[in-house]
Each structure stands twice: as C-alpha cells, then as structure tokens.
Amino acid sequence: MNLKQLSENLGLSQTTVSRALNGYPEVSESTRLRVEIAAEKGNYRPNMRAMSLATGKAMAIAHVIPIAKHDVFNPVFAEFIAGASQTYYKYGYELMLTIAEAKDEESTYRAIAAKNAVDGVIVHSPLRQDDRLALLKEIGLPFVVHGRVCDTNEEYNWLDMNNRRAFKQATQLLIDLGHTDIALLNGPESMSFAWLRRCGYLEALGNNKISERTELSTVGELTEPNGYQAATAMLAAKNPPSAFLVSSYIVALGVRRAISEAGLTIGKDISVITHDDELSYFDNAGAVPQFTSTRSSVREAGVLAAEMLLEQIDNPTLYPQTKLLTSSLVMGSSTGPFRALS
Amino acid sequence: MNLKQLSENLGLSQTTVSRALNGYPEVSESTRLRVEIAAEKGNYRPNMRAMSLATGKAMAIAHVIPIAKHDVFNPVFAEFIAGASQTYYKYGYELMLTIAEAKDEESTYRAIAAKNAVDGVIVHSPLRQDDRLALLKEIGLPFVVHGRVCDTNEEYNWLDMNNRRAFKQATQLLIDLGHTDIALLNGPESMSFAWLRRCGYLEALGNNKISERTELSTVGELTEPNGYQAATAMLAAKNPPSAFLVSSYIVALGVRRAISEAGLTIGKDISVITHDDELSYFDNAGAVPQFTSTRSSVREAGVLAAEMLLEQIDNPTLYPQTKLLTSSLVMGSSTGPFRALS
DNA sequence: GTGAAAGCGCTAACAA
DNA sequence: TTGTTAGCGCTTTCAC
C-alpha cells in the first residue's frame, strides 16, 4: 500500500493525504479522520526511502563501533545501543549499526556522510586524543560522543559517566579503610575512560599524600588472564598491595583467581573493588552498592545520548551540549566484602 | 557531489556515468576509467535513498532482537551481529538494528516490511514454537533464523549451533567419568536453544540407562544468582549431584560460589561443565577445550547467516537453506578441571 | 481545504 | 557506445 493507492481509494489527492497524515493544519478534521482510518486499516506506512529522498532527512542515526578483528563486542556498547534504540523508536528514527575496523574509520565516516544514509552519528570509544572530532566537523555530520575526548579544545556534544569521580571515590574508600598500597588494574590509557579513571585514582592518592607506586599499576586489554597475571605478579613481589582497584569485572575475575591461588581470602586478607559489575548479570540488588556504571545506567545513558543527538539535529543552535552522569560509589557482588586494615 | 554534478563535470550523461560506476559492460574502458577517477577524487558515493528508490532494493538488512525492559542485551547476539556486519560491508549492505519488545514484535515486523526499509531480516531468539515464521512468510520478507524453531512443519532458512549434540557429548563425558547424578541448569525451555540442550542431555542419560532425576533440573533466566540458588539447594538436599552441566558461564559463576560455600572443590569433589565460556572473555587458548559456542564461532556464525540471507535475496530459488554448525566439546577455564569419580 | 505539478537522486527501458 | 526519458514514492510550492 502506497500513497497513490491510498489516495485513490479515498478519492483524494496524494497531497491531501500526505498532509493529513503529517499533521498539517490546513486539512479539515473530517478528511483527516477518514484518511487516518483508511491508512490504519490498509496498514499504510510511508516508504522511508522515498520520504527521505523528498525531505532530505534520512530519519536514521548511525552508531559506529570501532572493533578490531579479535576484539569482543563490548557489552557496554550493546546496552548503550539498546537504550538509544528506544529513543529512535519513539521519534521514528532507524538505527544503523556500523562496525569499523580502526584503520579505515575515516573512510567509514566519509562514506556514511556521502551516502546520505543518516542524519547523525554516535561515536563510541573515544580516545584521549581523537581525530574523529575534527573529521566529523569537517564533513558536517552532527554527532554525539559516548564518552569524552580529553586532549582537545574543540567543542562537541558528549555524554559520559563520571569515571574520574568514581575512581577517586573508590580509592578514597580504600584509603579510609587504611589501605595505602592500592593496585590499579586499568584498561589501555589511550582510551579516555581509562585515562580518566587513572586521574581519579591519582587524585585520591595525592589528596592523602600517598605517593604512587608505579609497580602497582598495570594497563592492558580487559581480559581475565590479564587480571590473573597482573595480580599474581604483584602478590608474589615484595610489598604486595593490600587492595585492588579494577577497571572491569572480567579482569576482577582473574584477580580473584590469583588471590585464591595465593591462599588469600577476599574481604579478610585483601580487598577488591571492581567496575561494571552489574554488567556481568550479577544481581546487585539491595545490599550491594553500585560502583560506576551499571547495566541499567548504561542503557539510560544511551537513551539520553540519542535524545541529545536528535535535539541537535532538530535545533543546531543548541550546540554544544554535554552531560556528565553521576553514579554513586559501589562494589560488586563478584568481589566480595571490603576489608578494613587492622 | 551527486550524479548530476559528476556527469556535468565529465560532460557525460548521468546514465553513462551510472553505468560506468555500476560495471555495465557497454561502457568503453576509457570512459569507465575517466569516470572512476573523477568519482574517486570527487569522493562521490551514490545516495542510497535514491538508489534504492529507483531499484526497489533497500540494500539493508534488519536484525530484530527481542528484549524485555530489564533483560540484558545478550553478548551472543552482539558477537553474531558483529560477524554479520562484516558480510554486509563486503556486499555494500547496511545493517539496521531493531530492538523489539516481545509484545509488539508482530507490528515491528509488519512495519519493517511496509516501510520498505530492508530487503531481509535476521530473526534472533527463536522459540520452540514460534509464530514469526508464519508471519514473515505471510508478509513475504526473506529471512534467516539464528537458531531453530523446533515445533513446526514450515520450511525456512536457519543457521544454528549444534546445541543438542554438544550437551549430549558433555553429558556423556561426565558419565564416562563415572557420574550418574548430573544436574542440568538450563535456560527457559520455551526457547529453542535451551530445549535442544535438554534433549541432548536426556539422550545421553537414556543411552546409558540412567533415569532422569527431575529434581536435578532447573530452568530459568541465565543469571548468577539463579545458578547460586539452584546449586545451593541441590547441594543441601540428600543425594546431591556430583556434577553440574550449566547452560551459561554466568550461571556457572553462581554455581562456583555455591560449591565453594559448601566447602567443596571443583575438580576434586565435584565437576562443572559450562557453555559459552569464551564469551566471558576468558582466554581458552591451548589447554582448555571448547564447549559449544565460543565468541569467535558465534561471530563466524553471523558471517555465514548473513551470507545465507543475501544469497537468498539474490536467488530465491535456493530456498530453503539450513546450516548446522558443529563445534567440539569443551570445558571452560571458569569451571576448573573435571573430576573422575574414584 | 484541496489539487496539480515539480523535484529529491538515482536506474532502466528505449532510441540513436 | 552513449543519450533521452520516464519513473521509483514521497513532499512541497503554488494555484485554485
């Protein structure tokens, strides 16, 4: 069923039917009603391709996810996208998902723009210093960054968790419990999220006049074996840490393994705080506090980021917008109870 | 830069330029070369909307993911989609992601079809008995199911892991080790994947004349607390199981927690086999065998399913196609070593 | 309040 | 081998 058929059935012109359906005021109420009923029962939906060709609006948003051949598809992105899709659905937009090898990201963005396939883009996995900002501005495609770019003077839309604050709080909590030798197992610090977490960690140490022991920091892919190896090495060295601050629950699983092999008990001999815990599908309800991002908060972030982008597209003068989501400090159930130093 | 501008620059008609770019044979090599160079340096890409309006092909595939408000976005789907997107990229297709509340799935599919937004659909999360087959056939949208529908006589395209065989093998392995009281912690058995796993489990028991102890089977959302509760209860009952067969690594984490609280040791007092282990980002390289699906095999499945769908769209006479992926039996590093009964 | 006609950017008969 | 023309399904002036 297309506009032409629908209008012929009704004995009206395509113009009138189109106007009726799109809420133009000059259509009489009676015709509008007739049209709406006929459209409904004919299960009419405008052909998106034709519509966007005529209007110049694609009614679609792209999410570009950089992902190397052997990387996993980060569940955080999946949740974020699930949230964003709610917003798109609400406003009649479509979601195009693009997985981009890091090396040809530039051409990916250029292609997206040139093909006129979308009205805007959500940028995932920002780096501390990221060329995509300049690129997207150059090609004039509206965008919102999920996260932040640290080293830039450019203005741009972003929405982020407060990673710095969360890790500062977590570190402070450990310090308040009497810890001074606190290990940080972080992700690659070329990525903003990891860098900001490190900043928070250092800030808390600094505030408490604790000097950083660089051998207690590792950086790497957020995998279980990395956590295991790093923790094993640290526990075997002299002056082992009494607490671990871990950037991902997956890594924390490796830490747990190392701790248990070392004959230690979490919550008795040693403390572990991890991030993203709820993403592991653990049930953190009630007793267990919330650390930085959780599954539901990530999804909510997706909702908000998408709203930000659509708003931007509708009303470019609002530019730039930013949103820093706060979330309270929390420990996950996978890490067990904290320990106060005796 | 659009076709008109490009053709004007070249002093050719739009037709010729279009033909040159689309590889039609009647264009002279010299013109084709000129056109290609000009297109390249003008960074010309055809407007997808216009192209698909003209050809009637949307050059896009939808992935519809049923997901309730508080469900997580299953990482298996994410990996599968990452794989599929490689195929789409290769053939110039776009990937539209649609998250559908289970309740209005029908209208989602109808809308997708009516809007002419895609050429085909990948259906995720099939149920044992699933109305979507009939629906999609009715609306005439080509589709491939990621998984299978058990209770149907319809013919349709599908691609699946061999869940039944994997669980049969796993059960047999435990039996060979001397176990007879084997617990099965499964997902909701209205879903095909869980049902097939149960079938495999029962088959192996039957082959060995072991009668099923129904109190050793649970069914539920694949969460850590569910695994914990189920395992705790079973271990506290009389005649506890000596082995657990678990449908998800998340659930297995809960089982491990229960086992450790019960003062038992995996690989010494009790055995655990879980599925999906590599999906947890664990490094299963080398020593650790592979159970049913792994991250990389799920991604590969996505690649294949997408190829199947595109082939179908190109050549409807091939219908129906099916593909059952075999994968060798495996235990994950999260579950520890097996134990032979002494 | 309604309709006719042009046009969005492309492809595909049909002509030359 | 190239060009002319019509048309994909919609929106949007402009005229009535």
DSSP string covering B11-61: TS-HHHHHHHHTT-TTS-HHHHHHHHHHHHHTT----HHHHHHHHS---EE
Q: What is the mean pLDDT of residues A29-51?
A: 90
Amino acid at A149: V
Cβ separation A116–B283 shorter than 8 A: no
Smallest CA–C1' distance to C3, residue: A13
Give pLDDT, residue B96: 96
Q: Which nucleotide is nearest to A16 (CA to C1')?
A: C2
The C-alpha of B306 sits at a distance from chain A's nearest C-alpha, in angstroms, of: 14
Give pLDDT, residue B326: 64
The sheet that has B182-186: what strands, in order across it? B217-219, B182-186, B243-246, B271-274
* Tokens linked to B297: 């095999």
Give pLDDT, residue A156: 92
Residue B332 has pLDDT above 60, yes or no: no
**Mean per-residue pLDDT of chain B:** 86
Residue B327 has pLDDT above 90, yes or no: no
Break chain B down into helix, strand, coil percent, rounded to 5: 45, 15, 40
Residue A284 has pLDDT above 90, yes or no: no
Q: Which of residues 43-102 of A touch strand D (CB under 7 A)?
A: 46-47, 50-51, 53-55
Return the half-sphere exposure (C-beta side, CA atoms, 13 A cut-off) of residue B149. 19
pLDDT in tens, A60-97: 999 999 987 777 788 889 989 999 999 999 999 999 99
pLDDT in tens, B77-135: 998 999 999 999 999 999 999 999 877 888 899 999 988 899 999 999 999 999 999 99
* Residues contacting residue A236 through CB under 8 Å, at least 6 positions apart: A262
Looking up tokens 């290769």 gives: B90
Q: What is the mean pLDDT of residues A260-267?
A: 84
Looking up tokens 């995720």 gives: B124
Whether residue A81 contacts residue A62, with contact meaning beta carbons closer than 8 Å, is answered with no
pLDDT in tens, A176-224: 889 999 999 999 999 999 999 999 999 999 999 999 999 999 999 887 7
Most confident of A87-91, A244-248, B280-284, B325-329: A87-91
Give pLDDT, residue B165: 85
Structure letter (DSSP) for residue A341: -
Taking the C-alpha atoms of residue A253 and residue B334, their distance in angstroms, rounded to an integer, is 9
Distances (CA, A) of A45 to B93, B115, B122: 22, 5, 21
**Euclidean distance between the first and the last CA atom of chain B, given in angstroms as a whole number:** 75
The C-alpha of B299 sits at a distance from chain A's nearest C-alpha, in angstroms, of: 9
Cβ separation A283–B223 shorter than 8 A: yes
CB of B46 lies under 7 Å from some atom of strand C: yes
Give pLDDT, residue B23: 87
pLDDT band at B275 (very low <50, low <70, confident <90, very high): confident
Cβ separation A85–B73 shorter than 8 A: no
- What percent of chain B has pLDDT above 70? 89
CB of A102 lies under 7 Å from some atom of strand C: no
Give pLDDT, residue A208: 98
Please name which of B133, B139, B205, B142 lies closest in space to residue B174, comparing C-alpha atoms.
Answer: B205
Q: What is the mean pLDDT of residues A324-334?
A: 51
* Tokens linked to B332: 């994950």
Give pLDDT, residue A303: 94
Task: Provide the CA B325 distance to its chain's centre, in angstroms.
Answer: 11
User: Residue A65: enclosing H or E segment and its boundaries?
Assistant: strand A60-66
B268 by Cβ neighbours in 10 Å (0-12 / 13-18 / 19+) ranks as: exposed
Q: What is the mean pLDDT of residues B235-253?
A: 90
pLDDT band at A165 (very low <50, low <70, confident <90, very high): confident
Give pLDDT, residue B288: 35
Give pLDDT, residue B85: 95
Cβ separation B117–A283 shorter than 8 A: no
Residue burial B85-113, b: 16+ Cβ < 10 Å; e: rest: bbbbbeeebbbbbbbbeeeebeebbbebb
Give pLDDT, residue B342: 64
**Mean per-residue pLDDT of chain A:** 85
Give pLDDT, residue A65: 94
Residue B283 has pLDDT above 60, yes or no: no
Task: Provide the CA A66 distance to its chain's centre, in angstroms.
Answer: 13
Taking the C-alpha atoms of residue A64 and residue A57, their distance in angstroms, rounded to an integer, is 19
Residue A159 has pLDDT above 70, yes or no: yes
pLDDT band at B287 (very low <50, low <70, confident <90, very high): very low
* Residues contacting residue B95 through CB under 8 Å, at least 6 positions apart: A96, A97, A98, B60, B61, B63, B81, B84, B85, B88
* Tokens linked to B100: 């559908």
Length of chain B: 342
Amino acid at A328: S
Task: Provide the CA B54 distance to its chain's centre, in angstroms.
Answer: 33
* CA/C1' separation B1–C16 (Å): 29
Return the half-sphere exposure (C-beta side, CA atoms, 13 A cut-off) of residue A335. 30
CB of B50 lies under 7 Å from some atom of strand C: yes
Distances (CA, A) of B150 to A247, B126, B145: 42, 9, 12
Q: Kindly tell me the sign of the dihedral angle through the C-alpha atoms of B99, B104, B108, B111.
A: negative
Smallest CA–C1' distance to D13, residue: A15
Looking up tokens 């980002």 gives: B281
Q: Which has the higher per-residue pLDDT, A101 or B280?
A: A101
Residue burial B195-227, b: 16+ Cβ < 10 Å; e: rest: bbbbbbbbbbbeeeebeebeebbbbbbbbbbbb
Give pLDDT, residue B279: 44
Give pLDDT, residue A336: 53
pLDDT band at A294 (very low <50, low <70, confident <90, very high): low
Residue A288 has pLDDT above 70, yes or no: no
β-bridge mates for residue B95, sequence order: B61
Give pLDDT, residue B284: 39
Whether residue B47 contacts residue B4, with contact meaning beta carbons closer than 8 Å, is answered with no
Residue A329 has pLDDT above 70, yes or no: no
Structure letter (DSSP) for residue B127: B
Which of strand C's nucleotides are less than 7 A from any protein C-beta?
Answer: 1-5, 7-13
Radius of gyration in angstroms for the set of CA atoms belonging to chain B, rounded to a whole number: 25
Please name which of A134, A136, A129, A132 lies closest in space to residue A152, comparing C-alpha atoms.
Answer: A129
| Vertex A257 angle, CA A252 and A260, to 5° | 120
- What percent of chain A has pLDDT above 90? 51
Q: What is the mean pLDDT of residues B312-341?
A: 69
Q: Biggest alpha carbon distance in chain A?
A: 88
| Vertex B23 angle, CA B22 and B27, to 5° | 110
CB contacts < 8 A (A, B): 138
3-state secondary structure of B98: strand
Task: Provide the CA B246 distance to its chain's centre, in angstroms.
Answer: 19
Q: Kindly tell me the sign of the dihedral angle through the C-alpha atoms of A55, A61, A66, A71.
A: negative
Task: Provide the CA B1 distance to its chain's centre, in angstroms.
Answer: 39
Residue A338 has pLDDT above 80, yes or no: no
Of A53, A110, A224, the CB nearest to B281: A224
β-bridge mates for residue B170, sequence order: none
Most confident of B2-16, B48-62, B196-210: B196-210
3-state secondary structure of B202: helix
Q: What is the mean pLDDT of residues A272-289?
A: 50
Give pLDDT, residue B161: 85
